[in-house]
């Protein structure tokens, strides 16, 4: 089932690996939704670090995924693939033409139309516009998997997130706080430290002039934190281990400071630590469906009630994706960047 659709659309292409300027508007055929998929007329698409890595040539799309960047979208359902109408975990009794959704995708988001698995579609939270909704899936799926599934953060436990004013960081602070944990966050300026605390962090830590290990140790009476979410790596790896409590869990989602480090694993043994990490893009649709269902149950009510919301840094027209990437790489922003079609 579908509306009358154009044959072609504008999409952002990566002309060659390189800087933001290699993101150029092009013309592509409008995708056709496969079985179990819906076609979304994209109103907005989120911009994320994996998009930057793909542009640089370091994060190719998984087999079968679109080469167009963009991992999260929001917009209107304009076509239904076979069987798609009954599959979404977040929309009851199912998906229909004209529904507004936000969705996690493996690529193709920087375009006027994008196909998405129905089970990865979620409803637009109450009171949200489509730009805000497009800022949700990538960070919420990532934080949920790494903080609440793999690291099993519990109410009453303490949590440290690095990059506290990134899209991931602002999401992690709010979710962890709302679900009953003590939250600490690192950031790189007084303004960003205040933003972390305004979002719910008990203590923002300016990594340029403070030692996060000493700060969290003092705040926890010498015990350390139970869970760390790290996107930095490098020399943070050993420092994370020092900052952790016995039975602590450390989860990696990126290595902006380098993927190699010298680590003393005696502390890992003595504290009985768990070190883990994951990437999301290549995981199966079935896995992402299960995450979507958990988010619909546990996180979406927090969004619907206004207790949490994405922090919106900036929006750009789709054709200005290069400017959006330049802002992303400057790290001067707080929160999420989106493209609007």
* Domain shared by 259 and 318, yes or no: no
pLDDT digits (tens, 9 = 90+) for 42-63: 999 999 999 999 999 999 999 9
Residue 166 tokens, joined: 């990134």
Give the separation between CA 161 and CA 236, rounded to whole angstroms. Answer: 12
Average pLDDT over residues 266-289: 96
pLDDT surpassing 80 at residue 39: yes
Write down the pLDDT at residue 90.
Answer: 56
Return the bridge partners of 39, or none.
79, 115
Q: Is residue 168 part of a domain?
A: yes
The domain that holds 120 is classified in CATH as: 3.90.180.10
pLDDT surpassing 70 at residue 192: yes
* Domain shared by 71 and 167, yes or no: no
Query: Lowest-pLDDT range, 35-39, 84-88, 155-159, 322-326?
Result: 84-88
Give the separation between CA 173 and CA 144, rounded to whole angstroms. Answer: 12
pLDDT digits (tens, 9 = 90+) for 77-112: 999 999 888 776 555 557 899 999 999 999 999 999
* Domain shared by 239 and 320, yes or no: no
Count of all residues that appear for the chain in the document = 341
* Domain shared by 166 and 248, yes or no: yes
Last residue of a domain, one of 261, 277, 293: 277
Distance of CA 256 to the CA centre of its chain: 15
Q: Are 302 and 148 in contact (CB under 8 A)?
A: no
pLDDT digits (tens, 9 = 90+) for 197-207: 999 999 999 99
Write down the pLDDT at residue 93.
Answer: 59
Query: What does DSSP assign to residue 27?
Result: E
pLDDT surpassing 90 at residue 227: yes
Q: Are 261 and 232 in contact (CB under 8 A)?
A: no
Q: Is residue 3 part of a domain?
A: no
Q: Is residue 154 part of a domain?
A: yes
Average pLDDT over residues 311-330: 97
* Domain shared by 160 and 173, yes or no: yes
What's the domain count of the chain? 2
Strand (E) positions, 32-190?
37-47, 72-80, 100-104, 113-117, 121-123, 158-161, 182-187
Last residue of a domain, one of 229, 258, 277: 277
pLDDT surpassing 80 at residue 123: yes
Q: Are 228 and 147 in contact (CB under 8 A)?
A: no
* Domain shared by 146 and 132, yes or no: no
Give the separation between CA 205 and CA 185, rounded to whole angstroms. Answer: 6
* Domain shared by 234 and 264, yes or no: yes
* Domain shared by 126 and 146, yes or no: no
* Domain shared by 185 and 99, yes or no: no
Please enumerate in sequence order all residues whose Cβ is within 8 A of that of 1, keeping only pairs 6 or more positions apart, or say none: 79, 80, 85, 97
Q: Are 271 and 246 in contact (CB under 8 A)?
A: yes
Average pLDDT over residues 25-49: 97
Average pLDDT over residues 321-328: 98
**What's the distance, Cα to Cα, between the start and end of the chain in Å?**
23
Write down the pLDDT at residue 85.
Answer: 81
Write down the pLDDT at residue 3.
Answer: 65
Write down the pLDDT at residue 2.
Answer: 59
> Containing H/E element for 224?
none
Residue closest to 121 by CA, chosen among 2, 311, 285: 285
**Tokens 């909704």 sit on residue:** 133
Average pLDDT over residues 234-246: 97
* Domain shared by 273 and 144, yes or no: yes
Return the bridge partners of 80, or none.
38
Q: Which domain holds residue 12?
A: 8-136+281-340
Give the separation between CA 97 and CA 118, rounded to whole angstroms. Answer: 12
Write down the pLDDT at residue 94.
Answer: 74
Give the separation between CA 37 and CA 247, rounded to whole angstroms. Answer: 41
pLDDT digits (tens, 9 = 90+) for 255-265: 999 999 999 99
* Domain shared by 168 and 111, yes or no: no
* Domain shared by 13 and 87, yes or no: yes
Please enumerate in sequence order all residues whose Cβ is within 8 A of that of 304, keeping only pairs 6 or more positions apart, or say none: 125, 126
Average pLDDT over residues 171-200: 98
Query: Lowest-pLDDT range, 148-157, 235-244, 253-262?
Result: 253-262
């Amino acid at each position: 089932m579908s509306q009358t659709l154009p044959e072609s659309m504008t999409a952002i292409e990566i002309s060659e690996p390189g800087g933001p300027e290699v993101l150029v508007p092009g013309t592509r055929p409008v995708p056709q939704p496969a079985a179990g998929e819906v076609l979304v007329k994209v109103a907005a698409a989120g911009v994320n670090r994996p998009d930057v890595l793909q542009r640089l040539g370091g994060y190719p799309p998984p087999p079968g995924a679109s080469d167009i960047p963009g991992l999260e979208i929001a917009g209107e359902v304009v076509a239904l693939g076979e069987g798609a109408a009954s599959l979404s975990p977040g929309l009851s009794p199912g998906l229909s033409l004209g529904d507004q959704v936000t969705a996690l995708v493996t690529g193709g988001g920087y375009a006027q139309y994008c196909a998405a698995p129905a089970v990865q579609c979620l409803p637009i939270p109450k009171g949200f516009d489509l730009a805000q909704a497009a800022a949700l899936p990538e960070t919420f799926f990532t934080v949920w998997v790494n903080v609440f599934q793999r690291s099993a953060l519990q109410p009453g436990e303490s949590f440290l997130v690095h990059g506290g004013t990134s899209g991931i960081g602002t999401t992690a602070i709010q979710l962890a706080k709302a679900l009953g944990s003590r939250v600490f966050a690192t950031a790189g300026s007084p303004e960003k430290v205040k933003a972390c605390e305004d979002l719910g962090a008990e203590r923002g830590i300016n990594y340029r002039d403070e030692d996060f290990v000493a700060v969290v140790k003092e705040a926890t009476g010498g015990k350390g934190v139970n869970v760390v979410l790290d996107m930095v790596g490098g020399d943070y790896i050993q420092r994370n281990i020092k900052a952790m409590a016995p039975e602590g869990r450390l989860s990696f989602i990126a290595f902006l400071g380098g993927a190699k480090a010298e680590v003393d694993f005696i502390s890992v043994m003595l504290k009985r630590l768990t070190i883990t990490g994951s990437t999301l893009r290549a995981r199966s649709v079935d896995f992402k469906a299960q995450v979507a269902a958990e988010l619909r149950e546990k996180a979406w009510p927090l969004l619907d009630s206004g207790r949490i919301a994405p922090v919106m840094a900036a929006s750009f027209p789709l054709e200005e994706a290069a400017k959006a990437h330049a802002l992303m790489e400057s790290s001067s922003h707080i929160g999420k960047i989106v493209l609007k079609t």
